[in-house]
Chains A and B, each alone.
Chain A
Amino acid sequence: MAATTSQPKPRPLSPHLTVWKWGPHMLVSILHRVTGGALSVAGLAILVWWLTAIADGADAYAEFIKLAAHPVGMVVLVGLTWAFFQHLLSGVRHLAMDSGAGFELGTNKRFAILTIVVALILTALVWFPVLGGKL
């Protein structure tokens, strides 16, 4: 029963992020998490701010709109709009996959690409008229 003093052999590691070739499904998966985080933090903060500004009256709301209409505010709002649609669409994809559907390689890839394309189209559809003068 001699105690072994040698180092144990390093355990094999499971394949990690770096060994995979990036595909649309991986991109959509990480985008779902990133957009969810952005909506949770920035999106909900702005929701509270917006409602509070409306409740505070016309002057406070005008102040909110001034910041929202600032180029930086616009970038944030367009970004959040895109995040909303991307997260909504990839969320629907996740709900479908939770039922066990859509795991075939071709189908899975097609719907992953579709969420990205449709989210961009919807974001553009929302913001072209808005930038045309609604705010």
Chain B
Amino acid sequence: MSVGDSATPLGKVRGLGSAREGGEHWLGERVASAALLLLGSWLAASLLLLPSLDHQTLVEWLRAPSGAVPMALFIIVAFTHALDGMKVVVDDYVHDEGNRFALNLVLLFLAVGGAALALFALARIAFGAQA
């Protein structure tokens, strides 16, 4: 306990706790959720503040760096946070180790695939010919 006793509470969860690991993952989930708090608020505010939600307006919005960059970050962080959350649900409710591993693998593939599809669509809009 000597290391734990001399460490700060934050030091303990940063890999110095009794499990020696897991603290970074726990913190990473919170970092992603804090980032998504900002990016999600940005998306909600943008959709509300855009003069219209017609095709032309949305394309112009997502072609500008001020729209495309936060949207790319939102896609990455939203899928990361969704995967974090769904993994917790699977780990809580799926007790068979094989099923749990398989489901977590499926979730990982879906999250990466979904994020890739969304980013590709965004790239087509941002760099696309049609406006």
Contacts and interface: CB of A to CB of B under 8 A. Distances in A.
Q: Is the interface of A mostly helix, strand, loop or mixed?
A: helix
Contacts of A33: 89
A123 B94 CA distance: 33
Interface residues of A, number: 27
A120 interface: no
Contacts of B78: 44, 47
Contact of B114 (A44, A62, A92): A44
A47 B75 contact: yes
Interface in A33-88: 33, 36-37, 39-40, 44-45, 47-48, 51-52, 54-55, 57-58, 61-62, 65, 84, 88
A62 B54 CA distance: 9
Contacts of A44: 78-79, 82, 114, 118
B118 to A, nearest CB: 5
B16 interface: no
A88 B40 CA distance: 8
A38 B55 CA distance: 26
Given A36-B85, A37-B86, A135-B53, A48 B114 contact: yes
Contacts, number: 69
A40 B77 CA distance: 12
A39 B81 CA distance: 11
Nearest to B118: A48
B82 A95 contact: no
A104 interface: no
Interface string A86-101: 0010011001001000
B125 A55 contact: yes
B118 A91 contact: no
Contacts of B128: 55
Interface string B18-56: 000000000000100110010011001000100011011
Please give me the 6 A-B residue pairs with the lowest Cβ-Cβ distance, nearest first: A40-B82, A51-B121, A55-B124, A55-B121, A61-B55, A58-B55
Interface of B: 30, 33-34, 37, 40-41, 44, 48, 52-53, 55-56, 58-59, 62, 75, 78-79, 82, 85-86, 89, 114, 117-118, 121-122, 124-125, 128, 130
Given A47-B78, A51-B122, 12 more contacts: A36-B89, A37-B86, A47-B118, A51-B121, A54-B121, A55-B122, A57-B55, A61-B55, A84-B40, A88-B40, A95-B34, A126-B44
